[in-house]
Amino acid sequence: MIRPIARADAACGGKAARLGALHRAGFAVPEGFVVLAPVALEEATQLLADLGGPVAVRSSGLAEDSAHASFAGQLETVLGVVEPADVVAAVERCAASGAGDRVRQYAEGLGSAPGSPAASGEDRTPVIVQRLVAAEVAGVAFSMDPVGGAESVVIDASWGLGESVVSGRVVPDTFRVPPDGAETGGTVPVGAAPVTSRVGSKASRLDLVGTDLRRTPVALPDRVRPCLAPGQVAAVAELARAAEGLLGGPQDIEWAVAGEELWMLQSRPVTALRAPTAVTPAEDPPPATVLATGAPASPGRVRGPARLVHGVDGFGTVRVGDVLVCRTTDPAWTPLFRMVSAVVTETGGPLSHASIVAREFGIPAIVGAAGAMGAVTDGRTVVVDGTRGTMALPDD
């Protein structure tokens, strides 16, 4: 039960099905196979020979393909597998990482749910065995901006294999590519292109050295310069948009550059939006003029115009990038979270609606900030630090 990725369909799990579609549409997807049953040693030997080098072994998700499948690190990935016996073991580990136990538990304890495959006994997750790209630069890209939902592509990139970015191990470079060449507010363009960028510290890299995976420190000059040239940034943005075009709906892609080639490694629909990478470094000094203090509810630090909203009747005043300042939130307010850059509520705690939804959207939030609405005038630029729990005036 081994199928080339080029022929993967829904029965191969969500991840493989999407890779199959991308492959058939001409995207540069590394060669690989989907494995639907335990692999024999001879089959593993043949797979390695066919793929010509070290492989990545990944779970493909449950056979029931959901339009919203995204796995948030829950399923297994094994990188840099070289020996046939290790391929056999990696396949078993990934195949077991699905939710077989849960299906049974659910069926016993909770009663029936639509579409439950409880009766089928199919506990085994399909597994992808794919050639591992020896990436020089790799990372992820959202085909839409997770903060505010604008049409910009947001790219996180770092040296070496993309695992450094995916796992949050390094602070990557971030590039924001607007759709029609319009400038985004308040940042310096890179070269002539209206792309905004922030260079991250990119302190270490993971590389395939022969047949070993090794993590090493990045040399200082490479930490302080962007790891992607403007042409490469544009190519990754185009790749993300093309994936969205093919698969329908915003995509969260993993990509890798090796030599002249840009590879598409994974694509999944954007459902839960990511936490921001701009977490306040502990060594940053506290702000000079704090307007309000609350419980840190969602990390990150942003600046934007404060928008005082007293109730649903005030929603029309909110603009993309505003800092929402209000007493409390409820389901009617959720659409605002898509637009604003941060949320400050006077009531509530880290478990309240504003906290949970802000985290889902990956925007900074502080809650229980008594008096916040009286502490700032509407439209005044503020800095919200969701890691520290402060709303302050900018220091400059």
Partner 1 sequence: MPHTSPPDLLALHGVRLLGYADLSQLAARFDLDPAVVTAVLERAAERGEVTETSFADAGGWSLTEAGRQHNEAQLAEELDAVGARATVTQVHEDFLPLNETVAAACTAVQLDPERAAYDQAWQELSSVAAELKVLQARLCEELDRFAGYHARFASALFRADEDRAYIAGTSVDSCHKVWFELHEDLIASLGITR
357 near partner 1, rule: CB under 8 A: yes
Of the two residues 79 and 315, which places its CB atom closer to partner 1 in the complex?
315
Our finding on whether 26 is near partner 1 (CB under 8 A) is no
Choice between 290 and 315, CB closer to partner 1: 315
- CA 2, 3, 8, 13: dihedral to nearest 10 degrees? 0
Chosen residue from 2, 89, 234, 272 binding partner 1 by CB under 8 A: 272
Q: Could you say which of 41, 85, 356, 370 contacts partner 1 (CB under 8 A)?
A: 356
Q: Which stretch binds partner 1 (CB under 8 A): 85-93, 102-110, 177-185, 232-240?
A: 102-110
Which residues in 278-296 are b (16+ Cβ under 10 Å) and which e? Answer: bbbeeeeeebeebbbbbbb
| 387 neighbors 343 (Cβ within 8 angstroms) | no
Q: How many CA atoms lie within 13 A of 96 on its CB side?
A: 7
Q: Please, are residues 332 and 358 in contact by the beta-carbon 8 Å criterion?
A: no
Contact flag: residue 186 with partner 1 (CB under 8 A): no
User: Cβ(304)–Cβ(342) under 8 Å?
Assistant: yes
Q: Of residues 51, 264, 339, 344, which one binds partner 1 by CB under 8 A?
A: 339
According to DSSP H, which parts of the chain are helical? 14-24, 41-51, 84-95, 100-109, 163-166, 220-224, 230-247, 334-337, 353-361, 372-375
Query: Please, are residues 79 and 30 in contact by the beta-carbon 8 Å criterion?
Result: no
Q: How far is the CB of 366 from partner 1 (least distance, A)?
A: 15
Stretch that binds partner 1, among 65-73, 201-209, 228-236, 383-391 (CB under 8 A): 65-73
Q: φ, ψ for residue 252 (rounded to 5)?
A: -110, 105
* Cα 41 to Cα 29, 44, 82, 346, 370, distances in angstroms: 25, 5, 13, 62, 64
Task: Give the number of residues in contact with partner 1, rule: CB under 8 A.
Answer: 55
* CA separation for the pair 136, 21 (Å, rounded): 26
Nearer to partner 1, 63 or 206 (CB): 63
d(CA 317, CA 132): 50
Q: How far apart, in Å, do the first and last CA atoms of the chain sit?
A: 63
Least distance between partner 1 and beta carbon 285 (Å): 26
Determine if 361 is a binding residue for partner 1 (CB under 8 A): yes
What minimum distance in Å lies between the beta carbon of 231 and partner 1?
30
- Binding-residue pattern over the window 105 to 124 for partner 1, x denoting contact by CB under 8 A: xx--xxx-xx-x--------
Segment contacting partner 1 by CB under 8 A, of 23-31, 49-57, 99-107, 170-178 = 99-107
DSSP-derived 3-state class of residue 212 = strand
> What is the pattern of x (binds partner 1, CB under 8 A) and - over residues 299-338?
------------xxx-xx---x-------x-xxxxxxxxx
Give the footprint of partner 1 on this chain (CB under 8 A).
14, 61-62, 64, 66, 68-74, 98-99, 102, 105-106, 109-111, 113-114, 116, 148-150, 271-272, 311-313, 315-316, 320, 328, 330-339, 350-353, 355-357, 359-361
